[in-house]
Amino acid sequence: MTVIPNQGSTGGGDAVTLTGSHFTGTTNVLYGSRRAASFTVLSDSTIATVTPSGHGAVPVSVTTAGGTGVVGSFYYLPPPSFRLLPPPAGPIAGGNTATLTGLGLYTTYEVFFGAQAAAFTVDSDGQLTVTVPAAASAGPVTITVRTRGGTAGGVVYTYLDSPSITAVTTDKGLVDGGNLVVLTGTAFSYTTVVTFGGTPVLSWRVASDTEIHALLPAGELGPVDVSVVTLGGTVTAADAYTYLGRFAVLGGVSVTNTGPSEVTGDLGVSPGTSVTGFPPGQVHGSIHIADADALQAHADVIATYDTAVAQLPDAGLAGDLGGLTLTPGVYNAPTSLGLATTLTLDAQGDRNAEWVFQIGSTLTTATASSVRLINGAMARNVIWQIGSSATLGTDTTFAGRILALTSITVNAGVTIQGQAMTINGSVTLDTNIITRPW
């Protein structure tokens, strides 16, 4: 004789089939001392019953005109309870593992995430390991666990969209790292890892679902990928950040100075070996004379110069830049350019806006001329690629990275927020202030 199933909820209501013999004419079915909620004699050997409420293990007895007999035992199980171990979220595609811990889980026969059934393993009466099913869309769903002892729910799991990166601000900085950048995008709330060039950032903070603040690690010179890993997936923005060098001034042949110039950033020469005028000039950084750092910096200048040359122009320029207001873009002048008054560069609110000036021959600025940066324009994002030489007139206020094939002459009183770097020639300074803009 059998009782199938022989386990059920303390609240009753479970369908149980009794098998045995001589059931015809059954007048009563008891679970312990309680009458079955209902019973139907299907045949002389089978009775379909519905359990009453109860507790613990009880005998199941059948009464007929011929007497009362015990068919077997039925075990009342307590209702389950559970919680979801962290993390409480994951990707829409599912496939990740969730762990449920609690009580009364041994007889689990169904687990649902919302309306989706999940595959699971019963580890013990206190734990289930569940493979999260896929979902149609992001958002919270309720987890339901069904056991012989009853049904439990109310625990929420959140399906997440994959993250996206739309901007890195600012998108350039010193190879030494330590600067703060802001990542803008979507689905950042459950971020677990942020890397620049494959290296985890020093620290990061999720400011909102659309913004992460990250303190950058040191990196190798040049562009690197930016990656964000969340519980919803991983996104990588290729070449989204550029590590820039330490140098403010670099000469190919020599660097000479007259007067109390101030250079913030490293100063060097390569492949030449001549640096003179320091002191009286002051370098707030290191001086590199044909050492490994200078050699690498020289190679980097060549690479940056060549990249600038290769870009397709957006517009042409000729003559004098004075009085112009230019939005971001690549500007080409096949011969020489001059600056008599003020050139304004307008970033239009984009701190990552870039300008490249391709100048076929020379750049010459007049006395007291200037380059003005407005609406978020940054000197680090302005490249002056000069096919011959640059001469900055007395008291010029200049902004940007000057990359000259031959020479740069910086006359008295000039200030540069940027770099002065040559490939084949010399940099000549005279009582100047040059500040690397990062």
Question: Residue 398: pLDDT above 90?
Answer: yes
Predicted confidence at residue 221, as pLDDT, reads: 85
Percentage of the chain beyond pLDDT 90 is: 96
Predicted confidence at residue 222, as pLDDT, reads: 87
Question: Residue 353: pLDDT above 90?
Answer: yes
Choose among 436, 350, 416, 62: nearest CA to 428. 416
Phi, psi dihedral angles at 398 (to 5 degrees) = -120, 150
Predicted confidence at residue 47, as pLDDT, reads: 97
Residue with tokens 């000259």: 404
In this predicted model, what pLDDT tens digit does every residue of 24-44 receive, in sequence order? 999 999 999 999 999 999 999
Predicted confidence at residue 322, as pLDDT, reads: 98
Strand partners, 167: 184
Predicted confidence at residue 1, as pLDDT, reads: 86
Predicted confidence at residue 107, as pLDDT, reads: 93
Question: Residue 438: pLDDT above 90?
Answer: no
Predicted confidence at residue 308, as pLDDT, reads: 97
In this predicted model, what pLDDT tens digit does every residue of 193-247 receive, in sequence order? 999 999 999 999 999 999 999 999 999 888 999 999 999 999 999 999 999 989 9
Residue-averaged pLDDT of the chain: 96
Predicted confidence at residue 92, as pLDDT, reads: 96
Question: Residue 331: pLDDT above 90?
Answer: yes
User: Looking at this protein, which amino acid is placed at residue 358?
Assistant: Q
Q: Distance (Å, rounded) from C-alpha 267 to C-alpha 422?
A: 12
Question: Residue 137: pLDDT above 90?
Answer: yes
Q: Distance (Å, rounded) from C-alpha 260 to C-alpha 281?
A: 4
Percentage of the chain beyond pLDDT 70 is: 100
Predicted confidence at residue 265, as pLDDT, reads: 95
pLDDT band, very low/low/confident/very high, at 336 (cuts 50, 70, 90): very high
In this predicted model, what pLDDT tens digit does every residue of 40-60 receive, in sequence order? 999 999 999 999 999 999 999
End-to-end CA distance of the chain: 85
pLDDT band, very low/low/confident/very high, at 329 (cuts 50, 70, 90): very high
Question: Residue 182: pLDDT above 90?
Answer: yes
In this predicted model, what pLDDT tens digit does every residue of 237-288 receive, in sequence order? 999 999 998 999 999 999 999 999 999 999 999 999 999 999 999 999 999 9
Q: Give pTM, 2 decimals.
A: 0.76
pLDDT band, very low/low/confident/very high, at 355 (cuts 50, 70, 90): very high
Whether the Cβ atoms of residue 352 and residue 382 lie closer than 8 Å to each other: no
- Please provide the DSSP assignment of 74-136 as one string: EEEEPPPEEEEPSP-EEETT---EEEEEEES-TT--EEEETTEE-EEEEEETTEEEEEPPP-S
